Amino acid sequence: MLALRLARGSRPLVQLRRLLVAAASAGTGFLLLYVLAEAVARPAGSFPRLLWALVPLAFTVQLAVAVARTDPATRPRDGLDAAGLGPVRLGLVAAVSTAIACTLGGALALAAFLHLRGDLTGLPFDGAGARLLHADRPLPVAAALTLLALIPLTASAATAGTARRRTVPAPQTGLPWGIALTACGLAVEAYAGRGGPGMLAGWSLTAIGLALAGPGLAYACGALLQAVRPGGLRLLAGRALQEEAPRLGAPLGVLCAVGAGALTALTLRDQGGLLVPLGALTGPAAALVALCAAATLLTSAVEVRQGRAAVREALLGMGAPAKVLRTAASLRATALVAGCVPLSWGVAQLTSLALTR
């Protein structure tokens, strides 16, 4: 009940972020139901399709965790411990709020899926959806509900786990591991070739490696901003970026992995493309992954802005012009783009070479 009251009384921007989680859950749930219908109609190759469908699930969970971290209702405050709302209770509140949003998305996905199959009303779009979703075969209800339950259960468990530990490691600690995992991912892709679980495993290792290396990359971008006789503006932007690196780094690295995957697909388009066994929903699934990655990075930026509110107010109180703070934010964004675009391009080139050798 407390989670419902907090969700109902939240500000419009907070509600919008929760609706983003619900929308991502709806897209992921629809994709899982499509994979189930494909498995019923064509059992051969159903396991690789399920593995590829878990990629949007992972990105949806990442977005849900990022949204829960920015929720003002789940941040520790003075006096909440006395009211019985310590870190454990706040973690449970965040988990319940996440589960509600994901369950809403799953229900919308199920309703849309059944409607397109013609199980609720008449056949829309002249029956095109029924043919795509194999309406001639019965849908296993228990399996469908189990797949849909994966989304709120996984997202709420991840949210509860991250809500209890708000401390983050130093950005340089994960850089060697990130480089090593990225190299391992490229090696796996070179061994497995295009298509199949091997390519998915290699790309997953590459994405995890870039996520681990992301904080170090953001920290290095902040150091570059301060290089070669910096003025006050570059010092402000660089040091702020180094402080923000632990929070922004992981979603930034994941977005780099998504960008590298997109560039690889474009590079290999004339050579047969990437063999992803998701059929007609491959494009929507890729779009869902990209949107979730971008939304997670933006949500993490909101969290960073909330954490620096006291510093920003102190600078404004000391007479710093608001234009200086906006310019410093623009410098930080430019530095991140300048560091991430070459990284994504380089990983894409190495991936293309690994998949065409």
In tens, the pLDDT along 190-234 reads 888 776 678 889 989 999 999 999 999 999 999 998 888 888 888
Instruction: Quote the CA–CA distance of 113 and 31 in Å, as a whole number.
Output: 9
> Residue 273 has what pLDDT?
65
**What single-letter DSSP state applies at residue 351?**
H
Model pTM above 0.85: yes
**What single-letter DSSP state applies at residue 71?**
-
- Enumerate long-range contacts of 261-266, CB under 8 Å, 24 or more apart: 261/203, 261/348, 261/351, 262/286, 262/290, 262/348, 263/344, 263/345, 263/348, 264/348, 264/351, 264/352, 264/355
> Residue 208 has what pLDDT?
94
Q: Which pLDDT band holds residue 266 (cuts at 50, 70, 90)?
A: confident
> Residue 40 has what pLDDT?
86
| Residue carrying the six token digits 């699934």 | 285
* Listed residue (236, 268, 279, 295) closest to 66, CA to CA: 295
Instruction: Quote the CA–CA distance of 76 and 101 in Å, as a whole number.
Output: 22
Instruction: Quote the CA–CA distance of 214 and 12 in Å, as a whole number.
Output: 31
Convert 178-194 to b/e letters by CB count within 10 Å (16 or more is b). Answer: beebbebbbebbbebeb
Q: Above 70 in pLDDT, residue 1?
A: no
Cβ(199)–Cβ(192) below 8 Å: yes
Burial classification of residue 8, based on how many CB atoms lie within 10 Å of its CB (0-12 exposed, 13-18 middle, 19 or more buried): exposed
Show the tokens assigned to 40. 């019923």
Q: Which pLDDT band holds residue 304 (cuts at 50, 70, 90)?
A: confident
Q: Above 70 in pLDDT, residue 256?
A: yes
**What single-letter DSSP state applies at residue 122?**
S
Q: 118 in helix, strand or coil?
A: coil
Convert 319-343 to b/e letters by CB count within 10 Å (16 or more is b). Answer: eeeeeebeebbebbeebbeebbeeb
Reported as a single tens digit per residue, the pLDDT across 92-147 is 878 888 999 999 999 999 998 888 887 766 666 555 667 777 777 888 889 999 99
> Residue 280 has what pLDDT?
82
Instruction: Quote the CA–CA distance of 118 and 133 in Å, as a whole number.
Output: 10
Show the tokens assigned to 166. 């708000």
CA atoms within 13 A on the CB side of 117: 20
